[in-house]
Chain A
Amino acid sequence: MNSFVDLLISLPELFLVLTAMGMMVAGVYTSAGKAYTLISNAAVLSLFGAIGLVLFAKTGTTLAFNDLFINDGFAQYIKIILLLAAALVILIGDRAVRKIKIAHFEYPILIIFATIGMMLMVSANDLMSLYVGLELQSLALYVVAALNRDSLRSSEAGLKYFVLGALSSGMLLYGCSLIYGYAGTTSFTGLETAVAGASNISLGLLTGLVFLIVGLAFKVAAVPFHMWTPDVYEGAPTPVTAFFAAAPKVASMALFVRITMGPFQGMADQWQQIIIVLSILSMVLAALAAISQTNIKRLMAYSSIGHAGYALIGLGAGTKQGTTAILIYLAIYIVMVIGTFACILCMKRKGNSVEQINDLAGLGKSHPAIAAALLLFMFSMAGIPPLAGFFGKLYIFLAAIEAELYSLAVIGVLSSVVGSFYYLRIVKVMYFDNLSDELDSVTGKRISVIISLCALTILLFFLSPSLLVDSASTAASVLFEK
């Protein structure tokens, strides 16, 4: 095994690790006032650099580090989304981070570390590397959630996330050990042959898989492992919440796909049942709970739980079409979520952030542009054609229909009807309620540009959906060509 080739295969990750370390050193030696600006710009640049490296990397499936690490089309697709999300989150959070005085240079570095963890997760080809990636991500996230040390709520959010995350890690590890015990290997390749070869699935292996899935369900915030989400989303600083809602979701969902469609493909009949239950619970509960929320970040938490539920439909289908649908859904979801959080970050009154839904009253008159963008995002999340969100849902439901999961599709459609209520409520508040105190006007060119780009993507997606659909389909087919 040529170790140099290994390094080449994991070049994007290595690049990020090195630049992050370099930035850490540079941050220490830069004066406190300038450090954040310098490091955050460098972080964005290095994230875009990593995107370049991913794009120009060799295509095709390659293994590295004694088969612990895999790089394939699927991983590349997800990595691009992740890196883009991380870069955008740093960009849109810039002003807010300064405002709430958490503009430490460690913040962008922690984001990068979390991103590296996620990239390792999607490239994991062994239960061991999976766990290491997951923990790297989680540890970084625990810290950023509690980054605003002066705020009680932020600290509480960090702590809650840490305690519950530890619990879920424990479950995941326990599941890994059970699987190792019953299958005799931790390698995905080995597991695949073990599962496919077994004439009868042992209960022990099955229990191990359940524990593993529960650990992952915690990360994607599927019901009933979602309880941390609203509290953490609300408590964490808003730029951090944006990151939470975007990148880790995608990474965990990709990992979910990687495991279920890869090593445990042979147990599809078994895990499908769990996934369907989780999916239904998530969709229904999120739709119901979101109705009575007054805080927009909490609302977005439930929204993200609901979206996880919809994505799980695609997983429940267990087909290539379902996987394609998930990949499309995730890409569209990221754009919507970053756009929405960019709008939320713009909500300020006399310099202070506000996050109640009622604060949006009259936004349609006072800030027509941002209200129009938020309207687009909300309509898109509710799944109203011809916006991108509609297509995301469409492919998911189509996959469910093709897989003959009719009741799942029907429940999905019904809960998205209920869900559209709270999205439309925001629109109603913006356009039909009387103006309360006017919000501040939007400051920052970057954030305006990002909001417009996201809005345009959502609005014009229907012109050429094949751009995304084709690459998602190529990425998904990697998992099924064996």
Chain B
Amino acid sequence: METLAVFLPLLGAILAGLFGFVLRDRGAVLVTSSLLTISAVLSWVLFYDVIWGTGPRTVHLLNWVSVDKFIFNWALLIDQLTVVMLVVVTTVSSVVHWYSIGYMHHDKSIPRFFAYLSFFTFFMLMLVTSDNLIQMFFGWEGVGLCSYLLIGFWFDKPSANAAAIKAFVVNRVGDFGYALGIFGVFVLFGTIQLDDIFLAASSKAEAKIIFLGIEFHAITVLCLLLFIGAMGKSAQLGLHTWLPDAMEGPTPVSALIHAATMVTAGVFMVCRLSPLFEYSETALAVVAVVGASTAFFAATVGLTQNDIKRVIAYSTCSQLGYMFFAAGLSAYGAAMFHLFTHAFFKALLFLGSGCVIHAMSDEQDMRKMGGIRKLVPITYIYMWIGSLALAGIGIPGLGGFAGFHSKDIILESAWAADSIFGYYSFWLGLIAALMTAFYSWRLLFLTFHGQARCDERTLAHVHESPAIMWVPLLVLAAGAVVAGYLGHTVFAGGGDQMRSFWGDALFMLPTHTALENAHKVPLWVKVSPLAAGLMGISIAYIFYIQNNKLPSNCAARFKPLYEISYNKWYFDELYDRIFVKPAFVIGRYLWKSGDGAVIDRLGPDGLAMVTLRFSRLVSILQTGYVYHYAFAMLIGLVGLVSWYVFSEFLR
């Protein structure tokens, strides 16, 4: 069953990818989507079985490498952490598959699209089920590859190609860190088998590693290297620049890869390696600070973006920040909980915005939308649900939308961590929550309310999405509504409840009590996220419904701040100046002067030219006159004879 759940998507990808010409569009679509749905059902069964049934297990598939101590296998590690990811990945993926049937129906290469989607899902499953670091790296790189292929799916668009390359290159930076981390783990532990590493972690807690003559705390170094990998994949501050550009891909891709699954791989990895991270306070602090900063930074950028997908992309970036600082404060349960709920409501938001884009004839600029709520009521409702879940709205004490539970527990843990990093995270997270609510309703108001700002023809064409698109979204909408309420006790509840859910999958040192104490924080801390959310919504209402001159006035008044936010804190420009431009300059220099002028000229081109010149010379010697030929023969003879005469003479 485990094997089936993981490999059915691969089967779908192979069938649709290699035999797409036999299956045709319809066949490819049905094969991949049904196989994924089966996989999703199996995942839910596994979820139930692992947590309330037979418990965690490892399924051995094949021996992979066995060289001296370097031994690892293809295996499926099915534990609590894995099954949570399994249900998230397969559920969202199957919804996205069905949705895409409607969204992509006018595309020219449908089998390819579905093959990529299924292929991606397979790699994602490989990543979450691996029991060693190399297999995880295999999945890690695989999802990176699929992400590249899918961002650049419309490869005739130059911007899509540029975005795909950017995503690939930026991820490479992270992957380099990850690879170094794996090497380091092998050096330190002599194994890359997860359970062996975790067993040995406590004994290596004080180990040192010497690099360039400086002594470092070994586990800190390893964790930081691995975290760089996580930062790349999860678009954390510094390595986040690829995520907004990745919106060039088709919207279902954004929902699946760049909101619900792949980008959360970094969070998953940190949680998976919690037994390692727990032994390095420094690494945890870095994770928390980077996460909190990202949450704040991305939220500020989200305030001013005009592209509907970019707003949600920055929102994703920001929410990932929440997950990271939760993990950094040892509240892994909270991080995974938010990952779980976020997958539902963020995928819902993306697919909802996909419906909007679909309805608006592929328009993505919110300034050209507005006033369409009556024309697309279902989408409108979906977007409301998603936004309510994202902003974390609920009734304290009773329950609320998904984000209400998961975001609150994160912020409460941050307060309860009772450390400087905890408070840093709490306050930044709180401000980010306010901004989140603001930009979510800004999006809603700009898109659905007010005057229609599009042209007549587009407006006339606005229509509700077909059933194949909105029906699958019911699953996500349901998740966005109830996932938080159902999960808040099991995922991140206090004491035994949570422990019995996670088993040994997550590890927390007894001294790290953030999540434990999260349930005992003062009342104002508990209420503040909700208050921040409601405040954000109110401000958005004032700005975009009551007085729609206010936004431009504000922008003019606080121009420097607005500019910073609108230009995404100038990260792209900075990187362009520091890395891209110099790289191009160096590359051009090496190409023109190094390769062209030196290597080519002295090497291949030069040799060829010299050869050709000699060849012409030899041809000229061949005059056709007999006496020239006879002369050559005599010269040769005389040369040979005199060679001997002289050598004899010298001897």
Within 8 A of B (CB), among A289-317: 289-293
Instruction: Give Cα A339–Cα B636 distance, bound, in whole angstroms.
Output: 33
Chain B CB within 8 A of A368 CB: no
B641-A210 in contact (CB<8A):
yes
Is B611 positioned at the interface, with any CB of A under 8 Å from its CB?
A: yes
Q: Given A288-B615, A291-B615, are A224 and B645 neighbors across the interface (CB < 8 Å)?
A: no
Please give, as numbers and ranges, the residues of chain B lying within 8 Å of A210 by CB-CB distance: 637, 640-641, 644
Interface residues on chain A, number (Cβ under 8 Å):
33
Q: Is the CB of B213 closer than 8 A to any CB of chain A?
A: no
How close is B338's CB to chain A, nearest CB, in angstroms? Answer: 60
Interface bits B589-622 vs A (CB < 8 Å: 1, else 0): 0000000000000000000000110111011001
Which residue on B lies nearest to A289, using beta carbons? B618
Q: How far is it, in angstroms, between the C-alpha of A163 and the C-alpha of B626 when the chains are bound?
A: 8
The answer to the question of A227 belonging to the interface, with a C-beta cut-off of 8 Å to chain B, is yes
Whether the Cβ atoms of B614 and A207 lie closer than 8 Å is: no
Q: How far is the CA of A47 from the CA of B343 in the complex (A)?
A: 88
- With A and B bound together, what is the CA distance between A392 and B443 in angstroms? 77
A69 at the interface (CB under 8 A from B): no
**In the complex, A214→B643 CA distance in Å?**
14
A422: nearest residue on chain B (CB-CB)?
Answer: B615
Whether A288 and B629, one on each chain, are in contact in the complex, defined by CB atoms closer than 8 angstroms, is no
Contact partner of B619 (CB less than 8 A), chosen from A167, A206, A289, is A289
Q: Which residues of B contact A21 (CB under 8 A)?
A: none
When the two chains form their complex, are residues A214 and B624 in contact, meaning their CB atoms are under 8 A apart? no
Residue of B nearest to A202 (CB): B648
Q: Is A231 an interface residue (CB 8 A)?
A: yes
* Assembled-state Cα–Cα distance A167/B628 (Å): 13
**B626 contacts A160, C-beta separation under 8 Å:** yes
Our pick among A159, A168, A227, A292 for the contact of B616 (Cβ within 8 Å) is A292
Q: Establish whether residues A224 and B633, one from each chain, have CB atoms under 8 Å apart when the complex forms.
A: yes
A225–B634 alpha-carbon span in the complex (Å) = 9
Given contacts A214-B636, A227-B632, A288-B614, is CB(A203)–CB(B645) below 8 Å?
yes
Residues of A within 8 A of B630 (CB): 163-164, 167
Task: Determine the main DSSP class of A at the interface with B.
Answer: helix
Q: Kindly identify which residue among B614, B616, B636, B648 contacts A224, using a CB–CB cutoff of 8 Å.
A: B636
Closest to A291 in B: B615
User: In the complex, A80→B619 CA distance in Å?
Assistant: 36
Asked whether any CB of chain B lies closer than 8 Å to the CB of A383, the reply is no
**Residues from 206 to 223 in A contacting B, C-beta threshold 8 Å:** 206-207, 210-211, 213-214, 218
Chain B residues contacting A160 (CB-CB under 8 Å) are: 626, 629
Q: Is the interface of B mostly helix, strand, loop or mixed?
A: helix
Q: How far is the CA of A206 from the CA of B622 in the complex (A)?
A: 31
Q: Is B635 an interface residue (CB 8 A)?
A: yes
* Docked-complex contact B619 and A292, CB < 8 angstroms: yes
A167 touches B624 (CB 8 A): no
Q: Which residues of A contact B618 (CB under 8 A)?
A: 285, 288-289, 292
Chain B interface residue count, Cβ-Cβ cutoff 8 angstroms: 24
Number of A-B contacts (CB under 8 A): 74
Measured in the bound complex, the distance between the Cα atoms of B622 and A237 in whole Å is 20
Q: Is A230 an interface residue (CB 8 A)?
A: yes
Contacts known (A164-B633, A203-B645, A210-B644); A291 close to B611, Cβ less than 8 A = yes
Question: Most A CB atoms within 10 A — which of B615, B628, B648?
Answer: B615
In the complex, the answer to whether A231 meets B648 with C-beta atoms within 8 Å is no
In the docked arrangement, what's the CA distance between A273 and B641, Å? 12
B628 — which chain A residues lie within 8 A by C-beta?
227
A183 to chain B, nearest CB (A): 16
Interface check A228, CB cutoff 8 A: yes
- The residues of A that contact B619 with a CB separation of less than 8 Å are 289, 292-293
Beta-carbon contact of A227 and B622 below 8 Å: yes
Identify the closest chain B residue to A166 (Cβ): B630
Select which of A214, A227, A292 is within 8 A of B629 by beta carbon. A227
Question: When the two chains form the complex, which single residue of B614, B616, B629, B637 contacts A211, counting CB atoms closer than 8 Å?
Answer: B637
- Which residues of B are found within 8 Å of A274, using beta-carbon distances? 640
A270 close to B (CB within 8 Å): yes
**Contact among B612, B622, B635, B641 with A291 in the assembled complex (CB-CB below 8 Å):** B612
Residues 157-174 of chain A: 1 if any B CB is under 8 Å from the residue's CB, otherwise 0? 001100110011001000
Q: Which residues of A contact B624 (CB under 8 A)?
A: 231
A270 neighbours in B (Cβ, 8 Å):
644
Query: How many angstroms from the CA of A292 to the CA of B643 in the assembled complex?
Result: 32
* A164-B630, A210-B640 known; A292-B648 Cβ under 8 A: no
**Is A403 an interface residue when CB atoms closer than 8 A count as contact?**
no
Closest to B612 in A: A291
Find residues 175-230 in chain A having any chain B CB closer than 8 Å to their own CB: 203, 206-207, 210-211, 213-214, 218, 224-225, 227-228, 230
Give Cα distance in the complex from A164 to B633, angstroms: 9
Q: Is A418 an interface residue (CB 8 A)?
A: yes
Are A167's CB and B633's CB within 8 A? yes
Docked Cα-Cα span, A211 to B640, in Å, equals 9
Nearest Cβ on chain B to A416's Cβ, whole angstroms: 13
Complex Cα–Cα for A206 and B648 (A): 10
A292/B615 contact (C-beta < 8 A), A160-B626, A163-B630, A270-B644 known: yes
Which residues on B sit within 8 Å (CB–CB) of A214? 633, 636-637, 640
Tell me the bound Cα distance from A231 to B624 in angstroms: 7
Q: How far is the CA of A188 from the CA of B618 in the complex (A)?
A: 38
A211 CA to B616 CA in the complex, in Å? 30
Are A164 and B644 touching (Cβ within 8 A)? no
Q: Nearest-CB distance from B65 to chain A (Å)?
A: 33
A203-B648, A210-B644 known; 20 new pairs, CB 8 Å cut-off, are A163-B626, A164-B629, A167-B633, A171-B633, A203-B645, A206-B648, A210-B637, A210-B641, A211-B641, A214-B637, A224-B635, A224-B636, A227-B628, A230-B622, A270-B644, A285-B618, A291-B611, A291-B612, A292-B612, A418-B611
The 9 closest A-B pairs by CB, nearest first: A227-B629, A224-B636, A289-B618, A291-B615, A292-B615, A288-B614, A288-B615, A214-B637, A224-B632
CB within 8 Å of A: which residues of B?
611-612, 614-616, 618-619, 622, 624, 626, 628-630, 632-633, 635-637, 640-641, 643-645, 648
Selected A-B contacts with CB under 8 Å, 8 pairs: A160-B626, A160-B629, A163-B626, A164-B633, A203-B645, A227-B622, A231-B624, A289-B619
